[in-house]
Structure 1
Amino acid sequence: MLGFIRPFLPWIAYSVVASALDWRWGALVGLLWTAGELLSARRSGRGWDSLVIEVCSSLYFVIVVAVAFAEPHSSARPYIQAASSLWLALAAWGSLAIRRPFTLGIAKQTVPAEFWNNPVFYRVNAVITSAWAISFTLSGAAMFALRATHGSDSLVTLVTIAGFVVPAVFTARYPAAARARAAAATQA
């Protein structure tokens, strides 16, 4: 499961630093962490298909760092956390739209190559990517609504955490359930 969580660690660090210090420093930490992860992964031979989130994250953090340092008191500032979830949702939905669920590349890091062309392998990853996409969409929309109505920072933090924890738990549990269903179907 760490393979599915690792690409999101810069986002978590960004949220923590932005909440504790300032959004500029949070964005810079997110950018540096993501860029470091991306460079390290490429040097170790990982393919671009396993780095969809890292590439999208790098682009997002470049934009936010530019805005945050150019205009620290931007009216966009309260909505940046919501925008980050919606950006990740867009990346997840986009990967599904082009039939390359972002979790495929991550899963290929631990799943033997003989399973990669199995329709069940694709389906499991499409379902898992959908769970992340739905979670990011809902959490982003909820955070946007909370900010628009001056909701509490604590509630925004809880929504942010849930936006990562719920799909992470689903990611950890769903493959085993899908394998059990597939095994039962072949025995029937």
Structure 2
Amino acid sequence: MNYLKSFLPWIVFAIVSTQADWRWSGLVGLVLAGGLLAVARREGRGWDCLVIELSALGFFTVLTVFSLSNPDSPLREYVGASSDVWLAITAWGSIALRRPFTLGIAKTTTPQHLWQRPAFRRTNLVITAVWASSLTVAGVAGSLLLGYAPHATIALIALKILAFVVPVVFTIRYVTHVRARAQKAA
């Protein structure tokens, strides 16, 4: 569950953005992302397990600057969906670079002698692809929903929750499955 801490600024942002002006929700995300990144670095965590935190810092910096300089932009209505798209791009980008974002996080709880095994890398590739897919679907569906039914708040909230719950549940179950299969083979 180490990875959930990485998503804390995104989760808080999703909640705050439904209650407050987008400028303040972006600023809250920025402060949380910066604080989380500073704490993680102070704890000695390497950059490879801070991909989501770095992505959050980038997104919330851009969002804060843009929203403060263009407070009436029509893009403010799409900020929730854009956060999903940004995270999806982060996840797909980490796969394209052959460094799935879950790899660094998994290394914090997995013995070092397993890191170079193909199964470890494949497991993290699959998990990252599920996260990327879920966030892509949420970003696209959220954008379409906002475009066609902007007041469908319940559907938007459900979509946002599912975008995180589905990959979390998958991650837990898949890791359990992979470990059980590895123990059976040993």
Provide TM-score, normalisation by structure 1. Answer: 0.95
Q: SS where residue 125 of structure 1 aligns?
A: helix
CA distance in 2, matches of 1:97, 1:11: 23
Deviation at 1:130, TM superposition (A): 0.6
Q: SS where residue 99 of structure 2 aligns?
A: coil
Structure 2 equivalent of residue 165 of structure 1: 165
Do 2:17 and 2:80's aligned partners in 1 also have CA atoms closer than 8 Å? no
Q: SS where residue 94 of structure 2 aligns?
A: helix
Do 2:10 and 2:29's aligned partners in 1 also have CA atoms closer than 8 Å? yes
**Residue 139 of structure 2 corresponds to residue 140 of structure 1:** yes
Structure 2 equivalent of residue 29 of structure 1: 28
Q: SS where residue 7 of structure 2 aligns?
A: helix
Runs of 4+ in 1 over 4 A off after TM superposition: none
Q: SS where residue 91 of structure 2 aligns?
A: helix
Deviation at 1:145, TM superposition (A): 0.3
**Residue 122 of structure 2 corresponds to residue 123 of structure 1:** yes
Do 1:79 and 1:144's aligned partners in 2 also have CA atoms closer than 8 Å? yes
CA distance in 2, matches of 1:27, 1:166: 25
Q: SS where residue 103 of structure 2 aligns?
A: helix
Gaps of 5+ in 2: none
Deviation at 1:154, TM superposition (A): 1.6
Deviation at 1:172, TM superposition (A): 1.2
Deviation at 1:181, TM superposition (A): 2.7
CA distance in 1, matches of 2:109, 2:19: 35
Deviation at 1:80, TM superposition (A): 1.1
Q: SS where residue 92 of structure 2 aligns?
A: helix
Gaps of 5+ in 1: none
Q: SS where residue 46 of structure 1 aligns?
A: coil
**Residue 3 of structure 2 corresponds to residue 9 of structure 1:** no
CA distance in 2, matches of 1:9, 1:40: 13
Q: SS where residue 110 of structure 2 aligns?
A: coil
Per-residue CA deviation, residues 69-107 of structure 1 (Å, 9 max, x unaligned), is 112111111111111001000000010111111001001
CA distance in 1, matches of 2:140, 2:180: 34
Provide TM-score, normalisation by structure 2. Answer: 0.96
CA distance in 1, matches of 2:98, 2:39: 26
Q: SS where residue 72 of structure 1 aligns?
A: coil
Listed as ranges, the matches of 1:147-162 within 5 Å are 147-151=146-150, 152-162=152-162
Q: CA RMSD in A?
A: 1.1
Structure 2 equivalent of residue 178 of structure 1: 178
Higher mean displacement: 175-184 or 154-163:
175-184
Percent identity reads 46
CA distance in 1, matches of 2:138, 2:116: 33
CA distance in 1, matches of 2:129, 2:5: 18
Per-residue CA deviation, residues 123-151 of structure 1 (Å, 9 max, x unaligned), is 11111101100000000000000011024
Q: SS where residue 76 of structure 1 aligns?
A: helix
Structure 2 equivalent of residue 58 of structure 1: 57
Structure 2 equivalent of residue 73 of structure 1: 72
Structure 2 equivalent of residue 44 of structure 1: 43
Do 2:12 and 2:29's aligned partners in 1 also have CA atoms closer than 8 Å? yes
Task: Name the count of aligned residue pairs.
Answer: 185
Q: SS where residue 111 of structure 1 aligns?
A: coil
Do 1:4 and 1:168's aligned partners in 2 also have CA atoms closer than 8 Å? no
